[in-house]
């Protein structure tokens, strides 16, 4: 038997700001990593591994223009890479279920 719980969070203004910043950084990392994957595929016909994407994230965090990535937790940024890797693996394995 499965049990489901419904809960709702009511973050205050400070927490909302942290969440908004985190979601924005996650979106930026997803989009830049996706663009890099697509560019590499177009140029070399080679897939990008999780380790390569992780190194790219480290390079993004060292870029002075993207220094704000260091202000949020690394966990959601790393999880973004894992989710993207799982999505690509599922796509190329012709699976519909994506498990991260």
Q: How far apart are CA 6 and CA 18, in angstroms?
A: 23
Give domain status of residue 100, yes or no: no
Q: Which domain holds residue 49?
A: 13-92
Name, in order, each residue with C-beta under 8 angstroms of 40's C-beta and a sequence gap of 6 or more.
46, 47, 48
Inside any domain, residue 44: yes
Task: Give the per-residue pLDDT at 40.
Answer: 94
Q: What digits encode the pLDDT tens for the residues 51-86? A: 999 999 999 999 999 999 999 999 999 999 999 999
Task: Tell me how many domains the chain contains.
Answer: 1
Q: Let me know if residue 24 belongs to a domain.
A: yes
Q: Is residue 75 part of a domain?
A: yes
pLDDT digits (tens, 9 = 90+) for 12-47: 999 999 999 999 999 999 999 999 999 999 999 999
- Indicate if the pLDDT at residue 95 is higher than 90: no
Q: Tell me whether residue 28 is in a domain.
A: yes
What is the C-alpha separation between 15 and 21, in angstroms, rounded?
Answer: 10
Residues 88, 86, 99, 30, Cα dihedral to 10°: -100
Q: In the chain, pLDDT over 90 holds for what percent of residues? A: 81
């Amino acid at each position: 038997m499965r049990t489901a719980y419904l809960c709702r969070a009511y973050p205050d203004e400070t927490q909302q700001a942290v969440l908004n910043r985190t979601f924005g950084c996650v979106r930026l990392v997803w989009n830049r990593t996706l663009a890099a994957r697509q560019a590499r595929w177009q140029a070399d016909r080679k897939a990008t591994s999780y380790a390569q994407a992780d190194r790219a994230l480290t390079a993004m965090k060292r870029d002075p223009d993207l220094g704000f990535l260091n202000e949020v937790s690394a966990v959601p940024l790393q999880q973004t890479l894992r989710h993207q890797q799982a999505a690509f693996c599922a796509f190329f394995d012709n699976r519909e279920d994506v498990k991260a």
